[in-house]
């Protein structure tokens, strides 16, 4: 009972409770926020009264994501709802008299940094899973190295070391782990990788080429950058911007950022006319507020990198013509500017000095981990706090 109370306070930030029921539910495929309000008998004006940023964010709710709904003790009146829109921010609906208040609030989580080393027995992927029980971490490790390192012909006894960050929510891993620095040996020769300003570099500061996208527009300026969460001091509200905005004249051509297949071409609430393209390696790009699509651009069509798919416009919730460009990896929004080729491949000047200092510190950490055989944290240990929610939990007042 105490645990459940803590959970409710943690999730809903409430201190006084009458009897209530909390359900954890998966967000249905194809459900829009507006539909959701409709299905649950909540006023549609909640959506229509939102400003354009919040309306855009309502299009970011991912199918399958867990949301929480708190009802009164007989389950008939919805008191509060929490719907995550990304790892950092969530929609909070709170009942007030006959209506609901809409607010964006941060998702509470902790972040841990862990460091470990291990000897390769079978493969880096399998060995990391065996040592940590963390499949996503193993995946992130291989992903980070895959463009600069050949995983074949590794020898048993070669070693690897990793510094990574993991978010925890309710004692469970949350979102994707981030590799901050890593080392892998091949026949005892170490290869390093460092994350710096959202990109990966080798020891000499050369960018490790990943899957690179081109800019979706030419000669336009960035009017708004990517942020998972920021606090607006004037509005006193939390905001997020899950893409990059490029300001430009109506009719400016928009290019496919990489080869891929169109999986959506149509209208999408606050985003207006939208094209979504699926690319290899779990990437997806989104182009919003388009004036119109180029002829023939429809679902199922295969497009080449650099091909015109449509034109800049101001459809949906938009104050002026611009392209909102979103990039997603395995369904999660990531910073497009980390993957679009906008800078030189090697870091120069002051930034280089800064990088080399940082890389030296991280390298020492990795070497230490190898020498001391630093053990990883296992996922099972992290999850031991066991504050998970039952499918339907009744809490007496
Ligand atoms: Zn935008």
- CA distances (Å), origin 358, targets 29, 298, 347, 378: 43, 46, 13, 27
Domain at 284, CATH number: 2.70.70.10
Q: Is 392 a domain residue?
A: no
Condensed to tens digits (0 to 9), the pLDDT of residues 58-114 reads 999 999 999 999 988 777 889 999 999 988 899 999 998 889 999 999 988 888 999
Cα-to-centroid distance, 213 and ligand 1 (Å) = 18
Instruction: Give me the residues near ligand 1 (ion), CB cutoff below 5 Å.
Output: 245, 324
Question: Which domain covers residue 152, as residue numbers?
Answer: 110-209+345-384
- For residue 312, what are the contacts with CB-CB under 8 A and spacing of at least 6? 217, 220, 246, 248, 249, 250, 251, 252, 253, 254, 289, 290, 291, 321, 322, 323
Angstrom distance (rounded) from CA 320 to CA 329: 28
Task: Count helices and strands (H / E) in the chain.
Answer: 8, 24
pTM for this one? 0.70
Angstrom distance (rounded) from CA 2 to CA 41: 32
Domain at 356, CATH number: 3.10.450.350
Cα-to-centroid distance, 107 and ligand 1 (Å) = 21
Say if residue 160 is in the same domain as residue 226: no
Overall size of the chain counted in residues: 397
For the cut 90, the answer to whether the pLDDT of residue 372 exceeds it is yes
Say if residue 190 is in the same domain as residue 283: no
Q: How many domains would you assign to the chain?
A: 3
Cα-to-centroid distance, 329 and ligand 1 (Å) = 18
Residue 97: left (phi > 0), alpha (psi -120 to 50), or beta?
A: left
- Write down the pLDDT at residue 325: 96
Condensed to tens digits (0 to 9), the pLDDT of residues 142-166 reads 988 887 888 888 899 999 999 999 9
- Write down the pLDDT at residue 296: 92
Condensed to tens digits (0 to 9), the pLDDT of residues 220-273 reads 889 999 998 888 777 788 888 999 999 999 999 999 999 999 999 999 988 999
CB-based contact 98:78 (threshold 8 Å): no
CB-based contact 102:46 (threshold 8 Å): yes
Q: Is 200 a domain residue?
A: yes
Q: What percent of the chain has pLDDT over 70?
A: 89
Domain end among 72, 107, 142: 107
CB-based contact 164:140 (threshold 8 Å): yes
- CA distances (Å), origin 291, targets 146, 147, 151, 250, 327: 38, 37, 46, 7, 20
Cα-to-centroid distance, 241 and ligand 1 (Å) = 6
Residue 273: left (phi > 0), alpha (psi -120 to 50), or beta?
A: beta
Cα-to-centroid distance, 330 and ligand 1 (Å) = 20
Say if residue 136 is in the same domain as residue 199: yes
Cα-to-centroid distance, 124 and ligand 1 (Å) = 38
Cα-to-centroid distance, 270 and ligand 1 (Å) = 10
Q: Which residues pair with 165 in a beta bridge?
A: 113, 178
Q: Is 397 a domain residue?
A: no
């Amino acid at each position: 009972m105490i645990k459940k109370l803590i959970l409710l306070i943690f999730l809903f930030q409430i201190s006084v409770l009458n009897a209530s029921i909390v359900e954890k539910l998966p967000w249905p495929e194809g459900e829009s926020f507006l539909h959701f309000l409709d299905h649950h008998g909540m006023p549609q004006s909640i959506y229509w009264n939102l400003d354009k940023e919040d309306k855009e964010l309502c299009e970011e709710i991912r199918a399958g994501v867990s949301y929480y709904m708190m009802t009164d003790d007989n389950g008939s009146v919805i008191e509060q709802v929490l719907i995550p829109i990304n790892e950092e921010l969530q929609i909070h609906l709170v009942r007030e008299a006959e209506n609901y208040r809409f607010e964006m609030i941060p998702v509470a989580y902790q972040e841990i940094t862990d460091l470990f080393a291990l000897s390769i027995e079978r493969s880096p992927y399998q060995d990391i899973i065996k040592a940590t029980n963390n499949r996503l971490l193993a995946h992130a490790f291989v992903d980070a190295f895959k463009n600069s390192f050949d995983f074949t012909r590794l020898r048993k006894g070669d070693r690897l070391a990793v510094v990574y960050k993991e978010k925890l929510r309710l004692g469970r891993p949350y979102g994707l782990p981030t590799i901050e620095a890593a080392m892998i040996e091949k026949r005892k020769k170490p290869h390093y990788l460092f994350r710096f300003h959202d990109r990966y570099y080798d020891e000499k500061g050369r960018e490790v080429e990943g899957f690179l996208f081109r800019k979706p527009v030419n000669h336009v300026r960035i009017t708004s950058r990517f942020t998972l969460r920021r606090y607006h001091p004037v509005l006193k509200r939390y905001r997020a911007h899950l893409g990059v905005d490029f300001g430009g004249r109506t009719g400016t051509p928009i290019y496919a950022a990489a080869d891929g297949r169109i999986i959506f071409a149509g209208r999408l609430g606050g985003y207006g006319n939208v094209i979504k393209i699926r690319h290899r390696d779990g990437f997806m790009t989104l182009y919003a507020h388009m004036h119109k699509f180029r002829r023939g651009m429809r679902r199922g069509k295969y497009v080449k990198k650099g091909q015109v798919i449509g034109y800049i416009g101001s459809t949906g919730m938009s104050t002026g013509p611009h392209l909102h460009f979103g990039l997603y990896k395995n369904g999660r929004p990531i910073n497009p500017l980390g993957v679009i080729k906008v800078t030189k491949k090697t870091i120069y000047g002051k930034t280089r000095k800064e990088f080399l200092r940082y890389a030296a510190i991280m390298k020492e950490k990795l070497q230490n981990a190898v020498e001391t055989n630093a053990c990883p944290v296992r996922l099972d240990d992290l999850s031991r706090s066991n504050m998970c929610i039952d499918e339907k939990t009744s809490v007496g007042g």
